[in-house]
Chain A
């Protein structure tokens, strides 16, 4: 871990939130895991994460720095913004996995969501037929659409289970090459999940509009 001198007292190794010697707030590290002081694991305990978020908010929030110097107020603002961003991203398993992927050099842009995954080809074909009928004013299409929606929601649930199993494997692999390989699998699962989520949203929108 790199060493920093405290910007206030110049004492070295001010790598925590506050300088151990003069207790001044230090510039925040941008890495979410390191900032929160958490190991880089994909399985995180939601309760534990919330507790940490509240604890750190109490220390860092701009409300606590009203009478501090301008520099400290700015640092408090920066640190709290990172804290909030980190909590928002890490508390959701999907955004958390995306963050770790990105951190490991994976490209996670909204790519190729137009390509239908092979195992979904038949489902998507039927869905598009039903959607077309609904748009033509055929309200009988509602039943099959509702059915499709349920089917896709079920798929999403099984994908989530798959995802959590992969999280376990990644955490067990630690930082090894095996971990990198698991991340590759996770990316594939996330792409499928995103595709299904888009389908569900589309169906819900059409059902609400019809």
Chain B
């Protein structure tokens, strides 16, 4: 008998922190080993997981490529580009909705709820499905559980959008150790600090968002000097423009308006994306659509394409100039420009950037992967595996509070290095006042109504005092994730002052907790369903085998009791077969197995005897 020694390597193996690029169009997961950052491919060998989910008629959620395929047939049960909806209320997304096939459910003022089939999902829940898929891919590849992650967000994401991303991570069972801004992550991946110290601009035009960040690199410190952007500008806008044009063509040529036909619009979306991508390499191409036996075809030259999208590309230049101004730099002072995001493959984008910064942009790294690679580097920094680099990022938007007359008083200015803090003192206006309401906003405008409401903080249970006597110190702190934390102290008593937080957009903590719980239950349900399926397969196998064996001579050699025992075991197994309890099914498979032991032995003996005789059985 051989003896095996089991050595537990698990304790020696450090838990890996993965880096995740949760993109508008595609998402990726990466990790860092001794040789550098690497993107992890899924079981299908694909490195990009489309950020698409689709609910099947059976209530199963498809994610990634499978969902992208289902999108054509079931656009109303699928969601894509959900990143555009993160941290948004219904009033924010009117324009988007005209092009999205999915429906918005009731009660979407502070958090959107998307109707898929009979169920509704919030954007963080949808994103959590994508994150869970990436988590599974990483676990399969690394051979160990993955519970900690760095997730990237557009630099210009506001507090609610960041919080929504963090919520998505939590719902997916990930401890989000850090949110990193995408352009900053990209600069880490490029390892530009190895070459020399200098000033770098990162131009990041993705599927749905645009960011520009300017950084100073010095001795491994990546200090962001300024950032700017537009969270509503990207390749999607180019696609939508081409789709609108094609729909108008079709309406004229066919006399049919396809704009409300989800399936046709999705087919057209694919066609225009293919044409757009080709035009980065060839001077002319065609947009083609075959739908229900009809054919649409339109020539598109690069020149015409560039004229069609010039204003979209130009919209990125304003934020670039503002960013230069905020950094206190002239274009000539930028040493390097890094290009990130699939849309930077478009020649017009490259030439516009080159003209503005008067520097040839870096395009060596795959613009689809560079952000995920950078996230993996940041994960390694957090793990302590990389010690010579440090990222110092900024908050993209000013933070303020509403004061008399709806005017915003700025507490933390945009482009302040984070973590950043500000302290304000509050008091009461009337005798015996028990609470003070603080309205916190983000944005650059003077009036509260023109800024983004972030939350209302209620300092409550104040001691009743004459007006102006209460002295409450409130500390606003933007953490390294760019998310606001607020703490208050009663200066008279020195005690912590309780605050009630009402976020203007997004989920409350309780809602997130409920979703986490539900997702665990769902995961358990899924697991149980799979085990039941597997147990039934086993039951089928043995039932078929026994059925066949009963035709065998060996069956007749059994005693009546033995035959009776087999019949009982078969009946019992058939009774529990449809129960949703894999333990029960397994137990009865085992029982049938035991009851047929003698039969199997007899059959084996017969087989051996026959074989020795040289006759076939």
Chain A positions near chain B (C-beta within 8 angstroms): 54, 57-58, 61-64, 66-67, 77, 80-82, 84-85, 87-88
Contact = CB atoms under 8 A, between A and B. Distances in A.
A64 B383 CA distance: 9
Nearest to B478: A81
Interface string B465-481: 00000000000010110
Given A57-B392, A61-B390, A66-B383, 15 more contacts: A57-B390, A58-B221, A58-B390, A61-B392, A62-B419, A62-B479, A63-B390, A64-B384, A77-B419, A80-B419, A80-B480, A81-B419, A81-B420, A84-B418, A87-B417
A64 B480 CA distance: 12
A81 B384 contact: no
A84 B417 contact: yes
A18 to B, nearest CB: 17
B496 to A, nearest CB: 14
B419 A54 contact: no
Contacts, number: 53
A77 B477 CA distance: 9
Nearest to A54: B221
B416 A84 contact: yes
Contacts of A67: 383-384
B421 interface: yes
Interface in B480-499: 480
A57 B221 contact: yes
A127 B178 CA distance: 51
Interface residues of B, number: 23
Contacts of A82: 421
Contacts of A66: 177-178, 382-384
Contacts of B392: 57, 61, 84
A54 B480 contact: no
Interface in B372-388: 378, 381-384
B218 interface: yes
A207 to B, nearest CB: 16
Contacts of B384: 64, 66-67
Contacts of B109: none
Contacts of B421: 81-82, 85
18 contacts: A54-B221, A57-B390, A58-B390, A62-B479, A63-B381, A66-B177, A66-B383, A77-B477, A80-B419, A81-B420, A81-B477, A82-B421, A84-B392, A84-B418, A84-B419, A84-B420, A88-B416, A88-B417
A77 B485 CA distance: 11
A131 to B, nearest CB: 20
Contacts of A88: 416-417, 420
B446 interface: no
Contact of B479 (A57, A77, A85): A77
A54 B217 CA distance: 11
B86 interface: no
A141 B417 CA distance: 41
B391 interface: yes
B557 interface: no
Interface in B199-213: none
Contacts of B221: 54, 57-58
B219 interface: yes
A87 B390 CA distance: 17
A2 to B, nearest CB: 17
A102 B32 CA distance: 48
Contacts of A62: 419, 479-480
A84 B477 CA distance: 12
Nearest to B384: A67
B220 to A, nearest CB: 9
8 closest cross-chain pairs (CB), A and B: A81-B419, A81-B421, A84-B417, A66-B382, A62-B480, A80-B419, A54-B221, A84-B420
A54 B177 contact: no
Nearest to B388: A58
Nearest to A61: B390
Contacts of A84: 392, 416-420
Contacts of B419: 62, 77, 80-81, 84
Contacts of A85: 420-421
A80 B477 CA distance: 11
Nearest to A77: B419
Interface in B388-406: 390-392
A88 B421 CA distance: 11
Given A63-B381, A66-B383, A88-B416, A54 B178 contact: no
Nearest to B218: A54
Contacts of A81: 419-421, 477
Nearest to A87: B417
A209 to B, nearest CB: 15
Contacts of A58: 221, 390
A154 B383 CA distance: 52
Interface in B218-258: 218-219, 221, 223
Nearest to B381: A63
B494 to A, nearest CB: 15
Interface string B354-387: 0000000000000000000000001001111000
A179 B173 CA distance: 59
Contacts of B479: 62, 77
A200 to B, nearest CB: 15
A82 B421 CA distance: 7
A85 B416 CA distance: 8
Nearest to A50: B218
B381 to A, nearest CB: 6
